[in-house]
Structures are given as structure tokens and as C-alpha cells.
Amino acid sequence: MNTQPSSSYVRYRAGKGGIGELVLGGASYGSRGRGARMTYTTAMSQFGPIMTAATEHGVCWLGIHASVARLEAELRGDYPAAELRSDDGAMGDLATRLMAWIGGDTKELFLPLDIRATPYQRAVWGELCAIPLGATRSYGEIARRLGRSSAARAVGHANGSNPVAIVIPCHRAIGSNGTLTGYRWGLEYKRRLLEHERAVAQVSRQLTLAGPRFT
């Protein structure tokens, strides 16, 4: 087990159109969360409860669902070998920053991550972060960008294994005919997230076109 992970993070910067930079090294824990101590909290967003879990090295899990009990069960199911504890106080600042970014109140986010990933998952998740805010790409298009045009199904599997929803925007991947498919947290959340991002992107474009105002 790698107990000293490389620097791993996702970064979103203002003026980049919502495109993120994803850098992933090793995780600090083993398979199924072996050797990890994870702290988690639940915060309310405009989409409902969002649960975030982190080790001392970075965020390792994020889920969105109307049922907090379902979120906790999913977290424990993903990391059955980890030591998990709820601590709203310790996670408060992180949750506040995440909710501001998810809600569109801030365009910048630097988030340390501590997640396990295969090389192919890293590649797919990097492509997800490269999709602009308010835009979508099909699984097939992502596969073509990775040089494997016939691997749409493999992209779908990697997409579905993303442990940090929204932050790594797997909701921006859609079917080849434009339909919303394959979202762990339900297609209604996927639809609402995309509608929100399109509205935020439209406002940003309008402000850019209007330019600065002088009085």
C-alpha cells in the first residue's frame, strides 16, 4: 500500500469556461479503503444533500441523494475496510467551499484528492474534467478523444466508477443520441446539474459579451 501518495488534485479556475485540470497520483489506502481513516459530512445544496468524505490527504468520495441514509450506506459500501466517522465541524470549511463552487457562486476551486484509479480511469476522468461548463460529450466521443473509438462501453464503466461526483463531472457524459444515461445518483440529478450548469455558463457568456461598464 502506498502510504505517501503523490500530489493529487482537481483545479477549476475562473476564465477557463469550467474546464478543470485533474492530476492523480497514488492513493494513501488500499483496496476497499483498507488502512484509511475517512471523515465525512453532509451539506445541503440547491440539489439536496451532498455527502463528502476525505482522508488527511484529500477528498476521496462525494455523493448526492435525497436520502442521507442512502448516501452513508453507499459510502460504507464503497469503503467497507475503512474507518469512517462523521464530523461536521472538521469538514465544515471544505463543505462550504464545495457548496459555493457547486452552486456557481465561485468559479475557482482547488481540491486535494485521495482516490484510487487505474491508468484508464485517470484518462477518462481527465477527459470529463476537460468538458466545458454547460456542455456534454457522448461516451463515444470521449473514447475517440482517447484514441479508442470502439471503447464507449469501457468509458461508461470508468465513468460509473468515479468516486467524486460533480467534482469530476461524470454527469456531462451522455448517450450517442443525446439522451441522459448511466448516472449512479439518478437521471433526475443528472438533468438538474446540467440545466444548472448551462444557466451558469449562459450568464457568464452574457457578462463576457457585455464587457466592463464604466460610469
pTM (two decimals): 0.92
Summarize pLDDT for 142-188 with one digit per residue, the tens: 999 999 989 999 999 999 999 999 999 999 999 999 999 999 999 99
Same domain, 178 and 89: no
Instruction: Find the catalytic residue in 170, 174, 193, 194.
Output: 170
Among 22, 34, 67, smallest CA distance to 164 is for: 22
| CA 177/CA 71 separation, integer angstroms | 31
Summarize pLDDT for 193-211 with one digit per residue, the tens: 999 999 999 887 775 556 6
Same domain, 100 and 124: no
Summarize pLDDT for 37-87 with one digit per residue, the tens: 999 999 999 999 999 999 999 999 999 999 999 999 999 999 999 999 999
| CA 215/CA 209 separation, integer angstroms | 18
Summarize pLDDT for 77-118 with one digit per residue, the tens: 999 999 999 999 999 999 999 999 999 999 999 999 999 999
Same domain, 98 and 169: no
73, 90, 112 - which closes a domain: 112
Q: Which residues pair with 53 in a beta bridge?
A: 40, 61
Domain limits for position 33: 9-112
67, 84, 112 - which closes a domain: 112
Q: 60 catalytic, yes or no?
A: no
Same domain, 100 and 30: yes
Q: Residue 122 belongs to what H/E stretch?
A: helix 119-129
Q: Residue 77 belongs to what H/E stretch?
A: helix 68-78
